[in-house]
Amino acid sequence: MYQLIDGKAISEQVKLEIAEEVKLMVDAGKRPPHLAVIIVGHDGGSETYVAHKVKSCEQVGFKSTKIAFEANVTEAELLSKINELNRDNELDGFIVQLPLPKHISEQKVIESIDYHKDVDGFHPVNVGRMSIGLPCYVSATPYGILELIKRYNIPTSGKNCVVIGRSNIVGKPIASLMMQKGYPGDATVTVCHSRTKNLKEICLQADIIIAALGQPGFLSADMVKEGASVIDVGTTRVPSEKTKSGFRLSGDVKFDEVAPKCSFITPVPGGVGPMTIVSLLKNTLLAAKKEIY
Amino acid sequence: MYQLIDGKAISEQVKLEIAEEVKLMVDAGKRPPHLAVIIVGHDGGSETYVAHKVKSCEQVGFKSTKIAFEANVTEAELLSKINELNRDNELDGFIVQLPLPKHISEQKVIESIDYHKDVDGFHPVNVGRMSIGLPCYVSATPYGILELIKRYNIPTSGKNCVVIGRSNIVGKPIASLMMQKGYPGDATVTVCHSRTKNLKEICLQADIIIAALGQPGFLSADMVKEGASVIDVGTTRVPSEKTKSGFRLSGDVKFDEVAPKCSFITPVPGGVGPMTIVSLLKNTLLAAKKEIY
């Protein structure tokens, strides 16, 4: 019988742990950690994410500041605000919610954030330090995946870990982390992608599969060996007649047929998803405690 | 019949190409590219490498400056010199020859180099940008490997590439580069290391093997499939009665038995080795032309 990785429960537990730490900080006379979130325009998904982030800050006792710009804000105005936040000593970390309107360079924005406050972990300094194995802010999704692996004591040393997808925000960083020395890590990591020719064969050798390609129901039972652990990072909105919203979230894994073969498996929703905001909170706490830099 | 990858010949060819570019720059009234090399102490290997680097600069028409410190230089003195070089407008790039004496933090030194001048590609900004797929200075060995693959038109798209070794200066970066979109890249990359359990089985599935573990003669014929391409990054000094120096360089590959199975293979010496200095020259040229930043 497979064990379901309950990301929702773990995320609530981690939040309680963070809240406890914040309480100790405040009891000791320190100000609580402070996260700022910049949002540009009115993308529905972005507004929902940002609202969740602000709410989660409240839950754990963080101070949060939401800074909203209209979609026609200039790149210069945005960069000016970022510079202001970089210099704000009362602010531990901040993020700029992506995607941004086309007239603004996301990479320029990311690189203009002081990496000491880059709690999204997207700045090249944090990406580079992660690759080298130095302390850094690890971006939300890979951080969340590691946390789930740790909380369920999933063995990784010497295991074959197959990562499907080579995105900068999931595939590459989780591959990099799973091959680092220590736990969770020390895995033999294979990164597969659209050009991979023998994907099924490769997946069948995997002890751990991390599916992060964003293709609903891509991973089927015939691609998974008995006893594997499967982490499903996919969260694609697909139309649904069963929900009020008219859509549901679909993972990259055919859960119903894959789960019976697994040792551990994450559901979608309720697996990796809830962990991402918790990762952001963790990074902000690390920033407030100056544990990384 | 296998094709020998002649790194020595390619390196000479690339040097001629660089010299040609330098000539055009100088003819156009620009100053030639200028590389500085800092060396600390009198490690024999380091002195030889630095002498080669200085000589290669001369060969292609670069200006070079060698800055030598005694082994008892303080970290502060070294960092002060680095700051001076960072600000020197007549200098395009510089490197600090590693290893450094134990009382000096190599990581601190690396991070104190302005990444715009970090032609060794070790600064986290360059490592991070490489991972993300942005223009950057790629470090010497991975850069050299890519150049060899390109010059011999070795196919990489959709190929299984196995990297043995997960060092920060070879294994991790070459893995990162081989999985990027484009050529050379688009490979399905597996990174193996000391914790890998089924290495032979994994190697037997590889179209390309990049051996970078520093263990003489590690890769034997029974680990290589017919038609594979093998890049040998190992350069370990082993005792030898046949040479005047009393040692010879040994690769990670049992060349004599592996070569007959290969499509392409690098020898040691004369394979990847000669390419590393060329990579440094290439990066310095890119710096002088401001093509990266």
Chain B residue with minimum CA distance to A124: B128
Coil, helix or strand at residue B97: coil
Q: Is residue A124 domain-resident? A: no
A126 interface with B at CB cutoff 8 Å: yes
The yes-or-no answer on residue B53 being catalytic is yes
- Regarding whether B114 and B192 lie in a shared domain, the answer is no
Tell if the CB–CB gap between B158 and A188 is shorter than 8 Å: no
DSSP A204: T
Residues B100 and B184 in one domain: no
Residue contact A134–B124, C-beta within 8 A: yes
Instruction: Answer whether residue B128 is part of any domain.
Output: no
Q: Which residues contact B293 (CB under 8 A, 6 or more apart)?
A: B115, B116, B135
- Is residue B131 scored above 90 in pLDDT? yes
- Closest-CA distance, A19 to chain B, in angstroms, reads 32
Q: From A205, which residue of chain B is nearest by alpha-carbon distance?
A: B202
In the predicted model, is pLDDT for residue B192 greater than 90? yes
Give the residue from chain B lying closest to A132, CA to CA: B168
Whether residue A265 sits in one domain with residue A147: yes
CA distances, B59 to each of A263, B23, B29, B277 (Å): 60, 12, 20, 12
- The whole-number average pLDDT for the span A167-171 is 97
Q: What is the largest CA-CA distance in chain B?
A: 58
Of the residues B6, B92, B118, B120, only one is catalytic, namely B120
Percentage of residues in chain B having pLDDT higher than 70: 100
Which one-letter DSSP state was computed for residue B165?
Answer: -
Please list every residue in chain B whose beta carbon sits closer than 8 Å to the beta carbon of residue A195.
157-158, 186-188
CB contact (8 A) between residue A172 and residue B166: no
Q: Looking at the complex, report in whole angstroms how far the Cα of residue A280 sits from the nearest Cα belonging to chain B.
A: 20
Q: Does A172 touch chain B (CB under 8 A)?
A: yes
Confidence of residue A245 (pLDDT cuts 50, 70, 90): confident
* Domain identity same for B158 and B103: no
Residues of B in contact with A127 (CB under 8 A): 124, 127-129, 131-132
Domain-embedded: residue A14 = no
> Looking at the complex, does the CB of residue A22 fall below 8 Å from at least one CB of chain B?
no
Q: Return the amino acid letter for A178.
A: M
Q: Which among B90, B119, B148 is the end of a domain?
A: B119
Q: A195–B186: do the CB atoms touch at under 8 Å?
A: yes
pLDDT score of B276 more than 90:
yes
**Does the pLDDT at position B220 exceed 90?**
yes
The answer to whether residues B233 and B114 belong to one domain is no
Ranges of H-type helices in chain A? 7-27, 44-60, 75-87, 106-112, 124-132, 140-151, 171-178, 199-203, 255-258, 273-288
Average pLDDT rounded to a whole number, residues B60-78: 98
Active site residue A120: yes
Q: To the nearest whole angstrom, how far is the Cα of B157 from the nearest Cα of chain A?
A: 7
pLDDT higher than threshold 90 for residue A157:
yes
List the beta strands (DSSP E) in A124-259: 160-164, 188-192, 208-211, 228-232, 236-239, 247-250
Which of chain A's residues have a Cβ under 8 Å away from the Cβ of B126?
124, 128
B202 contacts in chain A (CB < 8 Å)? 188
Residue-range definition of the domain harbouring residue A265: 140-273
Cβ pairs bridging A and B (under 8 Å) = 110
A28–chain B nearest CA distance, Å: 33
Catalytic residue among A6, A92, A118, A120, which?
A120
Residue A1: is its pLDDT beyond 90? Answer: no
Q: To the nearest whole number, what is the mean pLDDT of chain B?
A: 97
What percentage of chain B exceeds 90 in pLDDT?
97
- A127·B131 Cβ contact <8 A: yes
Query: Integer distance in angstroms from the first to the last C-alpha of chain A?
Result: 43
* E strand or H helix at A69: strand A63-69
Q: Is residue A150 in some structural domain?
A: yes
Of A132, A157, A172, the CB nearest to B127: A132
DSSP state of A31: P
In a domain, A131, yes or no: no
Question: Are B101 and B218 part of one and the same domain?
Answer: no
- Residue B269 and residue B145 share a domain: yes
Q: What is the pLDDT of residue B285?
A: 98
| Cα of A256 to nearest chain B Cα, Å | 28
Taking CA–CA distances from B161, the nearest residue in chain A reads: A190
Q: How far is A81 from chain B (nearest CA, A)?
A: 23
Q: What share of chain A is helix, strand, coil (3-state, %, to 5)?
A: 40, 20, 40
CATH of the domain at A56: 3.40.50.10860
Contact B127 A123 (CB under 8 A): no
pLDDT (0 to 100) of residue A264:
98
Whether A52 shows a pLDDT value over 90: the answer reads yes
Q: Looking at residue B245, what is its pLDDT?
A: 86
- Parallel, antiparallel, or unpaired: how do β-strands A188-192 and B188-192 relate? antiparallel
Examine residue B236 and state whether it is found in any structural domain, yes or no: yes
CATH number, position B212: 3.40.50.720
pLDDT grade, residue A209 (50/70/90)?
very high
Q: A176 and B179 in contact by Cβ < 8 A?
A: no
Q: How confident is the model at residue B1 (pLDDT cuts 50, 70, 90)?
A: confident
Residue with tokens 């263990």: B215
Q: Is the pLDDT of residue A16 over 90?
A: yes
Rounded CA-CA distance B92/B22 in Å is: 13
pLDDT at B34 over 90: yes
Whether A271 has a pLDDT exceeding 90, the answer reads yes
Q: Do the Cβ atoms of A127 and B123 come within 8 Å?
A: no
Q: Do residues B207 and B105 share a domain?
A: no
Percent of chain A whose predicted confidence (pLDDT) is above 70: 100
Of the three residues B66, B84, B119, the one that is the final residue of a domain is B119
**Closest Cα of chain A to B197: distance in Å?**
6
A139-155 average pLDDT score: 98
Q: How far is CA A283 from CA A36, A140, B112, in A?
A: 13, 9, 24
Q: Which residues contact A110 (CB under 8 A, 6 or more apart)?
A: A96, A118, A122, A123
User: Given a cut of 90, is residue B83 above it in pLDDT?
Assistant: yes
Q: What's the token pair of residue A208?
A: 């751990």
Q: Are residues A144 and A86 in the same domain?
A: no
B157 and B75, same domain (yes or no):
no
The answer, for A19 touching chain B at a CB cutoff of 8 Å, is: no
Per the structure, the count of domains in chain B is: 2
ipTM exceeding cut-off 0.85 for this assembly: yes
Residue A37: inside a domain, yes or no? Answer: yes
How far apart, in Å, do the first and last CA atoms of chain B sit? 43
B110 in contact with A, Cβ within 8 Å: no
Residue B53 maps to a domain: yes
pLDDT at B140 over 90: yes
Over residues B287-291, mean pLDDT: 97
- Residue B30 falls in the annotated catalytic set: no
Q: Are residues B220 and B154 part of one domain?
A: yes
Chain A, 197-216: which have a CB under 8 Å from a chain B CB? Answer: 197-198, 202
DSSP state of A189: E
Nearest CA in chain B to A128: B128
A188–B196 C-beta distance less than 8 A: yes
* B258 and B156 within one domain: yes
CA B177, chain centre distance (Å): 13
Spell out which residues of chain B touch residue A188, defining contact as CB-CB under 8 Å: 190-193, 195-198, 202
Is residue A200's pLDDT more than 90?
yes
- pTM of the predicted protein model: 0.96
Rg (CA), chain A: 19
